[in-house]
């Protein structure tokens, strides 16, 4: 019997979507499909994926587009993935319609809502003894912010972010950022007023700022299969984050490092919430205690997932083993790899620690893991687009984060 060819279908057109499709192409030699609102630069003139334009911001339209795509490719084995919370939520909520056409290695709706809620995340971490920062949730009732705790009890500065990224995605207000750095109570009150005016009805979190710049931040990528086995864990030290309003806090460069305590904590957490699929955690080393303090777990692989692939974790292999029902022993990636989407000279300029900078330069000499610099997808015109995209980071940092600071803000 002839096996149907495997085709990964990824919703979302950013660098992370390209990296995930590249992982499948490198592993299986298969050409995937990216479903996005527009033709994005990471997929300019790509040879590893077909670009499908759809209204991905409308849940019904996205589901309809995915069903139509599956009907057109009925002879293929389609694997549906995404690295953005709101697309993952749409797919999970429409699982009954999509499951006849796609393999969907994702968590249940119950697990998604539990993981996506930073309040529930904090409660689960407290139960497991995983360190989390002091947090005051703020709800919005009839357009009025209602704190669940004393705002004056917080030590400033604080970090502000929505409890659910999927809910916050659709809110529109002046100065909107994925993550807010707030120096005073007055700045908090002003932000909450703007959020309330947008009609946002979710929960917004005001969180203790853990000292240190972004090199104290850490990233963790994991996969837990349908049998309840965490088959993949990879951790890394963030070297530099992106600083544009829409991408603030997303790692632009990571040096992979094995953190056993964080891996153990993530395994316990995914077990507690009975999770399936990719998950990505943000946490930070607290210089006051030496502990890793967890901020959140995201119910998807993450935009920076190529660092895990480059370190040998191979996301495509873990997905295929899961959907084929093949047992796989846990892999904890330990190989040191430098992942970056920015030019090396720009990266090292922001590294204030001399020893860390020297270590990064040594790692770069062995090669830099750049998701878009793909030898299998390197036509002259595409190379020119990717070179321009990479160099454009110089302008972005000059505009939004011109000099390194001790806090990263």
How do residues 68-117 score in pLDDT, each as one tens digit?
Answer: 999 999 999 999 999 999 999 999 999 999 999 999 999 999 999 999 88
CB 194 within 8 A of CB 174: yes
Q: Is the dihedral of CA 205, 211, 213, 215 positive or negative?
A: negative
The full length of the chain comes to 409
Task: Compute the distance between CA of residue 211 and CA of residue 293 in angstroms, rounded to an integer.
Answer: 11
Across 149-178, average pLDDT: 86
pLDDT at 2: 52
Integer angstrom CA distances of residue 298 from 47, 58, 204, 295, 397:
30, 21, 16, 10, 26
pLDDT at 408 over 80: no
More confident residue, 52 or 166: 52
- Which CATH topology does 6-113 take? Rossmann fold (3.40.50)
pLDDT at 138 over 90: yes
Helices (H) and strands (E) in the chain, counts: 14, 18
Q: What are phi and psi of 404, to 5 degrees?
A: -65, 145
Task: Compute the distance between CA of residue 25 and CA of residue 5 in angstroms, rounded to an integer.
Answer: 12
Portions of the chain given CATH number 3.40.50.20: 6-113
- Share in percent of the chain as helix, strand, coil (round to 5): 40, 25, 40
3-state secondary structure of 77: strand
How do residues 240-251 score in pLDDT, each as one tens digit?
Answer: 999 988 787 899
- Which CATH topology does 214-400 take? D-amino Acid Aminotransferase; Chain A, domain 1 (3.30.470)
Task: Compute the distance between CA of residue 87 and CA of residue 283 in angstroms, rounded to an integer.
Answer: 23
Task: Compute the distance between CA of residue 42 and CA of residue 386 in angstroms, rounded to an integer.
Answer: 7
pLDDT at 200 over 60: yes
Which residues contact residue 403 at a Cβ distance below 8 angstroms, ignoring those fewer than 6 apart? Answer: none
pLDDT at 1: 40
More confident residue, 81 or 302: 81
pLDDT at 407 over 80: no
pLDDT at 398: 95
pLDDT at 409 over 80: no
Q: DSSP letters of 196-208?
A: HHTT--SEEEEEE
Unique residue bearing structure tokens 């499908």: 52
* Structure token digits, residue 241: 């984050």
Across 31-38, average pLDDT: 97
- Give the pLDDT band (50/70/90) at residue 228: very high
CB 20 within 8 A of CB 81: yes
* Structure token digits, residue 67: 């069903």
- Give the pLDDT band (50/70/90) at residue 166: confident
pLDDT at 31 over 50: yes
Which CATH architecture does the domain made up of 134-208 adopt? 2-Layer Sandwich (3.30)
pLDDT at 142: 87
Task: Compute the distance between CA of residue 263 and CA of residue 34 in angstroms, rounded to an integer.
Answer: 30
Portions of the chain given CATH number 3.30.470.20: 214-400
* Structure token digits, residue 301: 């692989």
pLDDT at 165: 75
Integer angstrom CA distances of residue 107 from 136, 150, 275:
28, 35, 6
Average of per-residue pLDDT values in the chain:
94
Across 312-317, average pLDDT: 95
* Structure token digits, residue 156: 């400033």
More confident residue, 404 or 237: 237
Task: Compute the distance between CA of residue 167 and CA of residue 112 in angstroms, rounded to an integer.
Answer: 13
Task: Compute the distance between CA of residue 235 and CA of residue 363 in angstroms, rounded to an integer.
Answer: 16
């Amino acid at each position: 019997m002839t096996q149907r060819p495997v085709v990964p279908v990824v919703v979302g057109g950013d660098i992370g979507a390209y990296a995930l499709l590249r992982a499948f192409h490198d592993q299986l030699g298969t050409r995937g499909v990216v479903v996005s609102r527009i033709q994005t630069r990471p997929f300019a003139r790509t040879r590893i994926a077909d670009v499908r334009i759809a209204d991905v911001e409308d849940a019904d339209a996205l589901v309809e587009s995915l069903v139509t795509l599956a009907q057109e490719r009925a002879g293929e084995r389609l694997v549906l993935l995404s690295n953005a919370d709101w697309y993952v939520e749409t797919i999970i909520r429409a699982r009954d319609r999509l499951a006849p056409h796609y393999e969907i290695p994702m968590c249940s709706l119950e697990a998604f809502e539990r993981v996506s809620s930073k309040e529930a995340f904090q409660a689960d971490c407290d139960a497991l003894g995983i360190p989390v920062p002091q947090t005051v949730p703020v709800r919005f009732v009839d357009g009025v912010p209602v704190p669940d705790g004393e705002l004056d009890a917080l030590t400033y500065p604080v970090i502000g972010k929505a409890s659910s990224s999927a809910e916050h995605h659709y809110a529109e207000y002046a100065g909107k950022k994925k993550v807010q750095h707030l120096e005073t109570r007055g700045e908090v009150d002003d932000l909450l007023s703007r959020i309330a005016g947008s009609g946002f009805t979710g929960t917004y979190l005001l969180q203790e700022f853990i000292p240190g710049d972004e090199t104290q931040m850490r990233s963790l990528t994991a996969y837990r299969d349908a049998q309840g086995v965490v088959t993949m864990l990879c951790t890394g030290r963030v070297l530099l984050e992106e600083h544009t309003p829409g991408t603030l806090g997303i790692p632009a460069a990571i040096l992979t490092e094995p953190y056993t305590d964080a891996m153990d904590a993530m395994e316990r957490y995914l077990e507690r919430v009975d999770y399936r699929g990719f998950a990505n955690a943000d946490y930070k080393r607290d210089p006051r205690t030496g502990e890793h303090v967890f901020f959140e777990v995201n119910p998807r692989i993450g935009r920076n997932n190529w660092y895990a692939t480059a370190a040998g974790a191979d996301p495509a292999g873990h997905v295929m083993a899961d959907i084929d029902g093949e047992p796989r022993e846990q892999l904890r990636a330990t190989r040191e790899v430098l992942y970056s989407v920015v030019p090396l000279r720009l990266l090292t300029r922001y590294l204030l620690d001399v020893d860390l900078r020297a270590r990064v330069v040594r790692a770069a000499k062995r090669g830099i893991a750049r998701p878009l610099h793909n030898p299998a997808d390197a036509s002259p015109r595409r190379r020119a687009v990717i070179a321009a995209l990479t160099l454009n980071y110089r302008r972005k940092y000059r505009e939004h984060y011109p000099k390194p600071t001790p806090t990263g803000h």
